[in-house]
Amino acid sequence: MKIETAEQGAPDRITEDRIRVLPNAVIVLDGVTSRTRPPDRNGGWYASKLADELANLITEASPLTEVLAQAIRNLTERHDLVPGDSPSCTASIVRWTGDTIDALVLCDTPVVAFGQSTHVLEDTRLEDLRPDPDILRWKNKPGGYWVAEADPAAGLQAVTTSWHRNEITSVIALTDGVSCGVSEYGLFAWDDLKQLPLGEVLDRIREAERGDSEHKRWPRYKTHDDQAIARISFTA
C-alpha cells in the first residue's frame, strides 16, 4: 500500500489543519479558526493535541466513535477545557485491517472511498444549518452540528461506515479547504482525486480562489482556507 499527503496553510498564516499517519490509520483534522483565542490555544493547537490522543487510543477493534469520544474527554480533562469556550476541530479517521476499512467523519472533513463505485462519507449537518445567521448557537447540540471540542458526546455523533478491503482500491480524507474544489467550485469530480497529484489539486484550488478574490462566483467568508488531504492506495 501507499500513503500520500499534501497540505498548505492559507496565505500569510500557519495552517491549523493536521494529518497524522499511523501504522494502521490516517487522521485528518481541521482546527477551527478563532479570532478570540490566544495563539497558544487556537484550532491548530487543539488539532495537534487531539491527534496525539487519537494516536494513543486507536486499536484494530475499538469503535471509532468511542475512540474519538475518549480522546475528546482526555483532552478536555487534561487542559481544563470548557464546552462552548474552547478551541475545536473537525475530524476524519480512516483505519484498516487485513479485511476491513473503517471510516469516521465529524463535521465537514469528508472521506471518499474508490472501488467499483465511489463512496462518499460526509457529515452535512453544518452545511444544512448555514442559512442560520446565528449558526454557533447550534454547535454541539441535538438537532445542530457537532465538532470535537470539550464535550465527549460529539465523538459519539460522528458519521461512520465500513467497507470490505477487497472492494476498495483507495481512500482519501480531506479538509473542506480541499473538498470545496469538488463540492463548491466544481473543479474536479471525486474520481479525479484518486489519481491526480495531490499538490496539483491544492494548487488548482488556490488558483481558482485567487481568480475570485471578491467572492462573487463562489460566496464565502474568506478567500483561502487551509488545505490538507491524505490518500491511501491499497493496491499500490
Pick the CATH number of 2-233 from 1.10.3720.10, 3.30.70.260, 3.20.20.70, 3.60.40.10: 3.60.40.10
Instruction: Give percent of the chain above pLDDT 70.
Output: 97
- Residue 226's nearest CA partner among 18, 37, 3 is 18
Instruction: Give residue-wise pLDDT tens across range 64-118.
Output: 999 999 999 999 999 999 998 899 999 999 999 999 999 999 999 999 999 999 9
Q: How much helix, strand and coil, in percent to the nearest 5, is found in the chain?
A: 30, 30, 40
Cβ contact 9:228 at 8 Å: no
Q: Domain locations in the chain?
A: 2-233
Statement: residue 195 has pLDDT above 70 = yes
pLDDT value at 37 more than 80: no
Task: Specify the residue for cell string 480533562.
Answer: 77
- Locus of grid cell 447540540: 141
For the CA atoms of the chain, what is the radius of gyration?
A: 17
pTM, whole model, 2 decimals?
0.95
Instruction: Answer whether residue 38 shows pLDDT above 70.
Output: no
Query: Looking at the predicted structure, is the pLDDT value of residue 236 above 90?
Result: no
